[in-house]
Structure 1
Amino acid sequence: MNRTGKNAPPPEEAAKPARKGDRHQEAVRLLRRMILAGDLPPGEPLREVAFSEQFGMSRTPVREAFRTLAGEGLVSLLPNRTVQVAHLDEEAAAEVFTVLGALESLAARLACKRMTPEQLEILSELQEDMERYFETRDRPRYLEANRLIHELIVESSANPSLLLAWRLLLPRAERARHVSTLDHDRWADAFEEHKQIHAALLRRDAAALSRLMEEHFDNGAASIRHETKQARARKRMAAYDGAASGEPPEPGRSGK
Structure 2
Amino acid sequence: MSAEVPTTDVRVPARKGDRHQEAVTLLRRMILSGELAPGEPLREVALSEQFGTSRTPVREALRTLAAEGLVTLLPNRTVQVSQLDEQAASDVFSVLGALESLAARLACERMRPEDMEVLSELQGDLAHYFEVRDRPRYLEANRLIHEHIVESSGNSSLVLAWRLLLPRAERARHVSTLDHARWAEAFQEHVEIERAFRARDLDAIARLMEAHFENGAASIQEARKRARREQRSRAYRSAPGAE
- Partners of 1:66 and 1:103 lie apart in 2 by 28
Q: Deviations over 1:107-133 (max 9, x none)?
A: 000001111111111111110111010
Amino acid at match of 1:148: L
Q: CA deviation at 1:48?
A: 0.5
Q: How does 1:73-222 map to 2 (within 5 A)?
A: 73-222=69-218
Change (3 A) 1:129 1:80: same
- Partners of 1:100 and 1:173 lie apart in 2 by 8
Amino acid at match of 2:24: V
Quote the residue 1:250 is aligned against.
Answer: none
- Partners of 1:155 and 1:167 lie apart in 2 by 10
Amino acid at match of 1:116: R
Aligned partner of residue 236 in structure 1, secondary structure: helix
Q: Number of residue pairs matched?
A: 231
Which sections of structure 2, spanning at least 5 residues, go unmatched? 1-12
Aligned partner of residue 243 in structure 1, secondary structure: coil
Q: CA deviation at 1:19?
A: 2.2
- Partners of 2:93 and 2:240 lie apart in 1 by 39
User: Quick one: which of 11, 14, 19 aligns to 2:16?
Assistant: 19
Q: How does 1:51-62 map to 2 (within 5 A)?
A: 51-62=47-58
Amino acid at match of 2:89: A
Q: CA deviation at 1:246?
A: 6.5
Q: How does 1:64-75 map to 2 (within 5 A)?
A: 64-75=60-71
Aligned partner of residue 80 in structure 2, secondary structure: strand
Amino acid at match of 1:51: L
- Work out the percentage of aligned pairs sharing the same amino acid: 72
User: Quick one: which of 30, 37, 59 aligns to 1:34?
Assistant: 30
- Partners of 1:83 and 1:246 lie apart in 2 by 40
Amino acid at match of 1:167: R
Aligned Cα root-mean-square deviation (Å): 1.3
Q: Which entry has the higher C-alpha Rg, 1 or 2?
A: 1
- Partners of 2:34 and 2:200 lie apart in 1 by 37
Aligned partner of residue 84 in structure 1, secondary structure: strand
- Partners of 2:33 and 2:217 lie apart in 1 by 20
Amino acid at match of 1:98: S
